[in-house]
Amino acid sequence: MPIDPIKLTVNQARQARLEGVHFWPQRNEKHQIIGWMAEGDESIGKVKFQAPLETFLWVPHEPETWPWRYADLLRPLTLSIWNQKHPVEANTAKKILPIGSTVKIVMVSRFGDVGITHDLTAEHGYHARVGFDVFDTTFTNQRRKA
């Protein structure tokens, strides 16, 4: 008989991860991440844990874990727009977006940055990368919808 998982808070799950508990994504029928699951050993045997979606944010290739998809610029930003022809250097145009421009986050890397574009309908294809370390000084009005 399966047992119901113990529901953890975000902080409890993050602490468990620091202590070595491995979490894996819990997905819906559309294969989107809707939460996190883990197993642990207790004196009573195997225990299942469940954690909310917002426990682990900015998972690469998993846009449903990204807290924001759109933001406005706090400073001008230069985009490098490649026309898909080679050589790359000769076929890349520079475009400077002014303060206040809306951009879309279309990529999150495991290196600690996001890829952005000025094309608000794009799902892929970034024209600039911005590190999380300068996120708060680059963007304002972060939101899920345009």
pTM above 0.85, yes or no: no
- Indicate whether 47 pLDDT > 90: no
**Sole residue written with tokens 């094309």:** 119
Quick one: DSSP state of residue 61? T
Q: Is the pLDDT of residue 1 over 70?
A: no
**Which residues, in sequence order, are bridge partners of residue 2?**
none
Res 3: pLDDT? 67
Residue ranges per domain, the chain? 6-56, 70-143
Render pLDDT for 58-83 as a digit per residue (tens, 0 to 9): 999 899 999 999 999 999 999 999 99
Best CA proximity match to 117, nearest among 85, 146, 88, 87: 146
For residue 49, what are the CA distances in angstroms to 28, 39, 130?
17, 6, 34
Average pLDDT, the chain: 91
